[in-house]
A and B are shown apart, each in its own frame.
Chain A
Amino acid sequence: MVSATGSPAPPAGSTALEAELFRLAGAVPDPELPVLTLAELGVLRTVRVSAPGTVRVELTPTYTGCPAVEAMSSDIERVLRDRGMARVSVVKVLSPAWSTDDISAEGRRKLAASGIAPPRPHGPAEPVPLSLSIRCPHCGSTDTELLSRFSSTACKALRRCATCREPFDHFKEL
């Protein structure tokens, strides 16, 4: 889904129309982190046209209980209908489970630029990596401490920078 350079691309085997619809759906901003698009977040899985005007979109939630999925679905339906697709169905798929490794390089850059420390890449078999340092998105210091494992949304933790003293959100690894 996400190439090594971090630019989310339609899955291989897409038709030209499916690729266009994938780009349209993928350009929808995330309702809770509007600096990111759905493609950069890595939650858009496939876009398949089964008949003229009929399209099925597969979306995967970041967290099982993520309340933003319904807003994402209706936003995708709207942009694809505006493109002339009369029947748009957005279905939620769980497997393979979304991981913060699915966030593109551009997505990570945008997170940091908006004051949210991006998730670190996963080590193998380490669901809660607590050892690597996390860089303050404000001043760049790595001297930061955990304040709370859960922050404004389930996907973020709250940290504080010991150098500039600012609190900040960290998109925690999943």
Chain B
Amino acid sequence: MNGAPTDDARDVRTTAAALALGDDALILSHRLGEWAGHAPALEEEVALANIALDLLGQARILLSLAGDEDELAYLRDERHFRNLQLVEQPNGDFAHTIARQLYFSTYQLALYRQLVAGDSAFGALAAKAVKEVAYHQDHAEHWTLRLGDGTPESHRRMSRACETLWRFTGELFQPVEGLDIDWAALEEGWLTSVTDVLERATLGLPQGPRTGAWTAGAGRQGLHTEPFGPMIAEMQHLHRSHPGASW
């Protein structure tokens, strides 16, 4: 970006970006894991757990680029997490989880595709992750079509979910320090893809604002929504209560 950065400057940029991407994957993985024992069908129980596992694997590699993965996951306080507010939103009903998956997996797929092509510390991981995330996006797309173009009740719930989460999608395209990404192209591609899926699902694109003064880039700056605190309290409880525990 600025000619030839020094090694130290490059490390700082890589660490910042690894935290942002790693926290997205870690937090969404934990949210999806909360479905264990609660999913509407056994197949979805398994699907959501498998998607969570893919994301956890990505998170481990990304956080390891920034430091000790366990310390970063379990010993940071809320204000030090750099994930998008979208991924920390509670699961809600199944439609809500699917809307969150559609918005995030479409974003992650396009972002990682750019990282594969670029010259960064993330190329190897991105090349691997795009193949996994393509299945996550496919899963979300098929459920969006099935629920949106399903019964009046499933249509109503899927529509409500897409509307409710819409305001968290502006943050996806706030530039992340350390990533050389064409953010405008990313956003354009995301909008095209999401619009296509929602229209085929008879839902249409939500009309509300995609950012507010209180959301723009806030998660990336360490400002999180109210449900995030209880979530990480549960996520970190075991490690904090029994440091170094293993089984």
Residues of A within 8 A of B (CB): 61, 63-67, 94-99, 127-128, 147-154, 158, 172, 174
Residues of B within 8 A of A (CB): 43-44, 46-47, 50-51, 53-58, 60-61, 123-125, 127-132, 134-135, 138-139, 142
When distances are taken between beta carbons in the complex, the residues of chain A under 8 Å from B142 are 149
* Residue in A95, A97, A128 with the greatest tally of chain B CB atoms within 10 Å: A97
Q: Is the CB of B61 within 8 A of A149?
A: no
CA A154 to CA B131, docked complex, whole Å:
12
Q: Which of A95, A97, A147, A148 contacts B131 (CB 8 A)?
A: A97
Nearest CB in chain A: distance from B118 CB, A: 14
Q: Which of A98, A150, A154 contacts B128 (CB 8 A)?
A: A98
Q: Is the CB of B54 within 8 A of A154?
A: yes
CB contact under 8 A between A94 and B131, given known A64-B54, A153-B50, A154-B54: no
Enumerate 18 A-B pairs (CB-CB under 8 Å) in ascending A order.
Answer: A61-B57, A61-B128, A63-B53, A63-B54, A63-B57, A63-B132, A64-B125, A64-B128, A94-B124, A94-B125, A95-B124, A97-B127, A127-B131, A128-B134, A149-B142, A150-B46, A150-B51, A151-B46
CB contact under 8 A between A149 and B55, given known A95-B124, A127-B131, A154-B132: no
* Residue in A67, A94, A99 with the greatest tally of chain B CB atoms within 10 Å: A94
Number of A-B contacts (CB under 8 A): 73
Which chain A residue has the least Cβ–Cβ distance from B59? A65
CA A160 to CA B69, docked complex, whole Å:
40
CB contact under 8 A between A64 and B61, given known A97-B127, A127-B134: yes
CB contact under 8 A between A65 and B131, given known A149-B138, A153-B50, A154-B50: no
CA A128 to CA B135, docked complex, whole Å:
7
Q: Is the CB of B53 within 8 A of A67?
A: yes
CA A147 to CA B138, docked complex, whole Å:
14
Q: Which of B58, B127, B130 contacts A65 (CB 8 A)?
A: B58
CA A70 to CA B179, docked complex, whole Å:
31
Q: Is the CB of B134 within 8 A of A65?
A: no
Q: Which of A63, A65, A158 contacts B43 (CB 8 A)?
A: A158
Which chain A residue has the least Cβ–Cβ distance from B44? A148
Q: Is the CB of A96 within 8 A of B127?
A: yes
* Residue in A95, A148, A151 with the greatest tally of chain B CB atoms within 10 Å: A148
When distances are taken between beta carbons in the complex, the residues of chain B under 8 Å from A128 are 134-135, 138
Q: Is the CB of A97 within 8 A of B51?
A: no
Q: Is the CB of B139 within 8 A of A149?
A: yes
Nearest CB in chain B: distance from A144 CB, A: 16
When distances are taken between beta carbons in the complex, the residues of chain B under 8 Å from A66 are 57
